[in-house]
């Protein structure tokens, strides 16, 4: 309850910020885009982890307003970057947002206002997201895909993974959870699983992002096994937009 009031205040008083983490095309080492992540710095208590405040924002419905704010901020920043290089931005969608009537219209309006083309926007959803209200969610996902937006399944392999979603949802990207990426390279225990996810995703025409890439050994294994993109501390931590602009100038 306390956190809820503080979060309302944060939204009203500009305490929320967007950080960006690079997502790299593994074959070339070039930055293909960024994941936008919400950050909150409380004037008294300092940084509050999204692990704490995102669930509160979801439960209270504040995620709808703060999520729309983040999407517009991230779209405007990315459109500014695109004058130099054709990057995309990937934004997390909470279940609550996905169930909001008129989400696709709202997203379309944000694209129009910021000038970001639909091809410059990826939206990440989790598998648990569409379990609650599959009909509404599926309809919304189809509307978003029809706009030309790229949809991603986030944290793949954890939670309520269902293989049928891989085929039934209009997604183009599968993001393999960091829990599995940690265990690849040097004969690590998760190599068979990651190989299988890559084969299955590619057979369905999806591209694959490995999350949480921290070492060159992991990167080399992922590249050798045909993974399309990597994201993680090896390439860069989430940082303010100004700090990522420099990263765009070079291949990693
Ligand atoms: O960035 P970090 O690892 O601290 O984020 C922790 C969790 O919070 C992750 O699961 C991430 O997806 C989620 N998260 C971060 N920013 C947003 C956001 O803007 N919207 C939603 N729905 N989740 C976010
Ligand atoms: O659930 P989601 O994938 O959106 O969460 C992304 C979160 O993962 C971010 O909060 C980010 O801080 C964290 N993260 C990103 N890269 C790495 C990494 O290489 N290692 C670890 N431990 N966490 C990471
Ligand atoms: Mn994500
Ligand atoms: Na993830």
Chain segment 23-58, per-residue pLDDT in tens: 999 999 999 999 999 999 999 989 999 999 999 999
Query: Residue 159 pLDDT > 80, yes or no?
Result: no
Query: Residue 240 pLDDT > 60, yes or no?
Result: yes
The CA distances from residue 186 to 38, 179, 191, 215, 220, in Å, are 34, 16, 9, 11, 10
**Which residue's alpha carbon is at the smallest distance from atom 8 of ligand 1?**
50
Lowest mean pLDDT among 138-142, 157-161, 188-192: 157-161
CATH class of 2-244: alpha beta
CA 101 to ligand 3 centroid distance, Å: 22
Mean pLDDT of the chain: 94
The CA distances from residue 52 to 10, 47, 48, 160, in Å, are 14, 11, 7, 21
Which of 7-35 are b and which e, b meaning 16 or more Cβ less than 10 Å from the residue's Cβ? beebbeeebbbbbbbbbbbbeeeebbbbb
Atom of ligand 2 nearest to the CA of 175: 3
From its phi and psi, is residue 46 left (phi > 0), alpha (psi between -120 and 50) or beta?
A: left
The answer to whether the beta carbons of residues 151 and 125 sit under 8 Å apart is: yes
pLDDT in tens, 166-191: 888 999 999 999 999 999 999 999 99
Contacts of 118 (CB under 8 A, 6+ apart): 111, 147, 148, 149
Kindly report the pTM of this predicted structure: 0.96
Is 38's C-beta closer than 6 angstroms to any atom of ligand 1?
A: yes
Query: Residue 22 pLDDT > 90, yes or no?
Result: yes
């Amino acid at each position: 309850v306390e956190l809820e009031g503080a979060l309302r205040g944060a939204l009203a008083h500009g305490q929320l910020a967007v950080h960006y983490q690079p997502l790299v095309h593994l074959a070339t080492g070039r930055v293909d885009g960024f994941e936008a992540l919400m950050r909150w710095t409380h004037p008294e208590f300092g940084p509050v982890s999204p692990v704490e405040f995102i669930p509160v924002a979801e439960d209270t419905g504040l995620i709808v307003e703060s999520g729309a704010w983040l999407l517009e901020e991230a779209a405007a920043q990315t459109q500014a970057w695109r004058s130099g290089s054709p990057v995309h931005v990937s934004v997390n969608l909470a279940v609550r947002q996905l169930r909001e009537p008129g989400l696709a219209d709202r997203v379309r309006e944000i694209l129009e206002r910021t000038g970001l083309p639909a091809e410059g926007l990826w939206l990440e959803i989790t598998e648990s997201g569409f379990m609650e209200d599959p009909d509404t969610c599926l309809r919304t996902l189809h509307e978003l895909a029809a706009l030309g937006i790229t949809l991603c399944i986030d944290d793949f392999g954890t939670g309520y993974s269902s293989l049928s979603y891989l085929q039934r949802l209009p997604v183009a990207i599968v993001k393999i959870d960091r829990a599995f990426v940690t265990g690849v390279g040097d004969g690590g225990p998760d190599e068979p699983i990651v190989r299988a996810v890559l084969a299955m995703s590619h057979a369905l025409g999806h591209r694959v992002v490995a999350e949480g890439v921290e070492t060159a050994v992991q990167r080399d294994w992922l590249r050798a096994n045909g993974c399309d993109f990597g994201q993680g501390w090896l390439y860069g931590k989430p940082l303010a937009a100004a700090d990522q602009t420099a990263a765009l100038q070079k291949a990693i």
